[in-house]
Amino acid sequence: MSPRSKKFIGAIVMLVWIPVYALVAMIFALKILPHANGLVSFLYYAIAGTIWIIPIGLMLPWMNREPTKAK
């Protein structure tokens, strides 16, 4: 697969992943956090605000990897 097509696929995945993750995190927060104390809310938002980058970080090396030559 060419680097250009990998970057296109990666961009589409990011454009879908980030809003879907944000909606899921928001729905979860609305269900759980109204009854939680300030520390739990802080920890939730700190973790939820950081964890979205893990799938993106795993995809970036794939996007930038040069194609292997066929033998």
pLDDT of residue 71: 63
pLDDT at res. 70:
64
In terms of DSSP H, where are the helices of the chain?
A: 3-32, 38-51, 53-64
Residue written as tokens 């970080």? 57
Sequence ranges of the domains in the chain: 3-64
Per-residue model confidence as pLDDT tens digits over 11-52? 999 999 999 999 999 999 999 888 888 899 999 999 999 999
Tokens 């879908």 sit on residue:
16
pTM: 0.77
User: Is the pLDDT confidence value at 62 over 90?
Assistant: no
Residues 41-60: pLDDT tens digits?
Answer: 999 999 999 999 999 999 98
